[in-house]
Amino acid sequence: MSPRARAAFMVTCLGDLFYPEVGERIVRLLRALDVAVEFPAGQTCCGLPLFNSGYHRDAAEVARRTVRLFEGSEAVIVPSGSCAWMVKHEYPGLLAGSPDEAAARALASRTHELSQFLVKTLRVVDFESDVHGRVAYHDSCHLLRGLHESEAPRALLRNLAGVEVVELPGSDECCGFGGSFSVRLPEVSTSILDRKLANVEASGADCVVACDAGCLMQLRGGLGRRASRVRALHLAELLARPRATRAGGGPRA
């Protein structure tokens, strides 16, 4: 039987180096949803750090590589809102006027951030979680204001049995990561993070969930340093498996 969908997984540089277990979970989860997952070899980074720092010629070359790497894929799944945004919103512009422009546009249109792919493309919102307790959701800036998505991750969290989603004051405020910003102005970045973590701790959550490896690195970095009892998790770390239904297969939204 042919799978329900075919997708290529874009692990992202932070996901590859620091959070490989998140990537593994995503691949297994997608397979459980009857999605055939490929992993095009030779992946590096989407080029967002170069782009945001103003090194657009280099960013364009990285974009060109990535576009060609994913040329044959049906759908491309990205576990970080910022990288998905880079591919979807900046690649076409970076490669405008080049022979790769059309391919960049095509890649942009078939690239999906993970939560959006689950909820909007596969229309699956019911999962089981091995994590229980109170959970707060942090809107990563690129997913919220770049891809205009605030609902999909929340819907996934709300439907988890054993998980209570608590209101996070200022959930739409930046965590202070901002790529190179976090090391160019570390004091300001940390000060923004402190504000975010104060809100997280005040929310009474046991864990704070994000859909972006950058935010995750920042949140975990701060929580770890203050020896907080709160954990920071990627959304995929709460989605252990699709919830079984009598109808069989992945339940539909």
Partner 1 sequence: MSDTAPELATPFRERAGKALKDDFLQQALEIATTKFITLRREAFGDFPAGDALRDRARAIKEATLQHLDRYLDQLVDNVERLGGHVHFAATAEEARDIILDIGRRTGARMAVKSKSMATEEIHLNEALERAGITPVETDLGEYIIQLAHERPSHIIAPAIHKTKGQVADLFARELGRPVPADAEALTAIARAELRQKFLDADLGITGANFAVADTGTIVLVTNEGNGRMVTSLPRVHVAVMGVEKVVPSMTDLMVFLSVLAKSATGQKLSVYTTLVRGPRRACELEGPEEFHLVLLDNGRIDQIAGTLREALYCLRCGACLNVCPVYRQIGGHAYGHTYPGPIGILLTSMLKGAPAVKDLAHASSLCGACADACPVRIDIPRMLVELRREVSEEKIAPWSERLAFALAGRLLRAPRLYRLGAPIARLLQRPFARGHTIRRLPGLAGAWTRTRDLPAVAPQTFQERWPALERERP
Check binding of 6 to partner 1 (CB under 8 A): no
Check binding of 31 to partner 1 (CB under 8 A): yes
Write the binding mask 162 to 201 for partner 1: x where contact by CB under 8 A, - elsewhere.
----------xxx-xxxxxxxxxxxxxxxxxx-x------
Write the binding mask 43 to 82 for partner 1: x where contact by CB under 8 A, - elsewhere.
xxx-x-xxxxxxxxxxx-xx--x-----------------
Q: Which of 16, 101, 126, 128 binds partner 1 (CB under 8 A)?
A: 16
Check binding of 96 to partner 1 (CB under 8 A): no
Check binding of 244 to partner 1 (CB under 8 A): no
CB of 154 to partner 1, least distance (A): 18
CA atoms within 13 A on the CB side of 49: 13
CA–CA gap between residue 168 and residue 170 (Å, rounded): 6
Are residues 31 and 68 in contact, defined by beta-carbon separation less than 8 angstroms?
no
CA-to-CA dists, residue 25 to 192, 196, 234, 241, angstroms: 30, 27, 10, 9
Per-position b or e across 33-70, b if 16+ CB within 10 A of its CB: bebebeebeebebbbbbbbbeeebeebbebbbbbbebb
Q: Which of 78, 104, 168, 217 binds partner 1 (CB under 8 A)?
A: 217
Check binding of 107 to partner 1 (CB under 8 A): no
CA-to-CA dists, residue 77 to 20, 37, 74, 114, 117, angstroms: 15, 9, 10, 6, 7
Chain centre distance of CA 122: 16
List interacting residues with partner 1 (CB under 8 A): 11, 13, 15-21, 23-24, 27-28, 31, 39, 41-45, 47, 49-59, 61-62, 65, 141-142, 145-146, 172-174, 176-193, 195, 217-218, 220-222, 224-225
